[in-house]
Amino acid sequence: MSEISTVKGIVLKKIEFGDTSHIVTLYTKEHGKLSAIIKGSRSSKSKMGNKVDVMNFVEVVLYRKKSREVQIISQVDLINPFPKIKENLEKLKYATAVLELLLALIPEDDVNERLFTGTVKALEKLDESEKLDANIFAKYLMFFIKEIGYEIQLQYCTECNADLRKSDSFAFKPDQGILCSECKNLYDFAEGITKEHFDLLNCLNTKNYCENFRKRAIKQIIKLLEKYLIYHIPEFKGIKSFQYY
Ligand SMILES: [Zn+2]
């Protein structure tokens, strides 16, 4: 028996299936990531095909059976298609990166309501924002890293446990985290970071969008966090949308 329910999700991927259908991958609040077929969605009479475009926030009627790999969707309602993201390359780059992280790094069926809510909020914010696209993504990346269990320690030196707030220079060691001014030269592959970077990492952990930081520093932190993820998750090869856009 299938269990029938209404679920909310973000469309991560959409492929054509057979002559008339689509298979979509959704990141949902209720069941985490799942794949489902929408039968007949490519016929001209169906109103469902366009509603499940990649990145759309949708509500669907789902027939779900745990033992089945691909579930069935019978109805789709559009909650938010994020129109401004789709018409702006910079926003699209970061929003695509958000979807990519979920596709690559979240196991199927891994339910995490906080990650779901944070993802919707990041996409809404990207859709609305005038100039904070990189900040929104940097903040999301920091949050995402924490939610998947690789939180970066910002209080103490990862080597000697010294209080980092008393340090005036730092280094970032991609397998461990942040080193204080005493330890920063211990490892050749640790990358020097400035007080500005350190303050920015702390800021990204708070509720604000860190508008006072230079865009250059924000982009450097995004690169650093990407490196950190690649180091911790060997099968992850980096964010592809950064190479396309
Ligand atoms: Zn130290």
pLDDT in tens, 210-233: 999 999 999 999 999 999 999 999
Of 50, 80, 110, which residue constitutes the final position of a domain? 80
Using 50, 70 and 90 to split pLDDT, how confident is the model at 109? confident
Give the mean pLDDT of the chain.
Answer: 94
- Residue 1 is predicted with a pLDDT of 76
40 and 140: one domain?
Answer: no
Distance 79 CA to ligand 1 centre (A): 48
Using 50, 70 and 90 to split pLDDT, how confident is the model at 134? very high
Cα–Cα distance measured from residue 229 to residue 150, given in angstroms and rounded to the nearest whole number: 8
Q: What is the token pair recorded at 69?
A: 């790999």
Neighbours of ion ligand 1 (CB under 5 A): 157, 159-160, 162, 180, 182-183
**56 lies in which domain range?**
3-80
pLDDT in tens, 57-77: 999 999 999 889 999 999 999
DSSP string, the chain: -PEEEEEEEEEEEEEEETTTEEEEEEEETTTEEEEEEETTTTSTT-SSTGGG-TT-EEEEEEEE-TT-SEEEEEEEEEEE--HHHHT-HHHHHHHHHHHHHHHHHS-BT---HHHHHHHHHHHHHHHH-SS-HHHHHHHHHHHHHHHTT-PPP-SB-TTT--BGGG-S-EEEETTTEEE-TTTTTS-TTPEEE-HHHHHHHHHHTSSS--TTS-HHHHHHHHHHHHHHHHHH-TT----THHHH-
Mean pLDDT across 175-183: 94
Q: Are 23 and 17 in contact (CB under 8 A)?
A: yes
Using 50, 70 and 90 to split pLDDT, how confident is the model at 45? confident
Of 27, 59, 80, which residue constitutes the final position of a domain? 80
Distance 229 CA to ligand 1 centre (A): 22
Distance 102 CA to ligand 1 centre (A): 34
Distance 189 CA to ligand 1 centre (A): 16
88 and 68: one domain?
Answer: no
Distance 173 CA to ligand 1 centre (A): 12
Domain count within the chain? 2
Beta bridge partners of 41: none
Distance 182 CA to ligand 1 centre (A): 5
Beta bridge partners of 231: none
110 and 156: one domain?
Answer: yes
58 and 132: one domain?
Answer: no
- Residue 150 is predicted with a pLDDT of 95
51 and 90: one domain?
Answer: no
Mean pLDDT across 1-17: 94
- Residue 131 is predicted with a pLDDT of 86
Distance 166 CA to ligand 1 centre (A): 11
Of 55, 80, 105, which residue constitutes the final position of a domain? 80
| φ/ψ of residue 12, rounded to 5 | -90, -30
Distance 242 CA to ligand 1 centre (A): 33
* The pLDDT of residue 190 is above 80: yes
**CATH number for position 45:** 2.40.50.140
**CATH number for position 188:** 1.20.1440.120
- Residue 46 is predicted with a pLDDT of 85
Distance 71 CA to ligand 1 centre (A): 50
Distance 160 CA to ligand 1 centre (A): 4
Distance 212 CA to ligand 1 centre (A): 28
Cα–Cα distance measured from residue 3 to residue 1, given in angstroms and rounded to the nearest whole number: 7
* The pLDDT of residue 23 is above 90: yes
- Residue 233 is predicted with a pLDDT of 93
132 and 201: one domain?
Answer: yes
98 and 10: one domain?
Answer: no
Using 50, 70 and 90 to split pLDDT, how confident is the model at 53? very high
Using 50, 70 and 90 to split pLDDT, how confident is the model at 145? very high
Distance 244 CA to ligand 1 centre (A): 38
Q: What is the token pair recorded at 243?
A: 């190479």
34 and 131: one domain?
Answer: no
51 and 91: one domain?
Answer: no
40 and 110: one domain?
Answer: no
33 and 153: one domain?
Answer: no
- Residue 48 is predicted with a pLDDT of 87
130 and 238: one domain?
Answer: yes
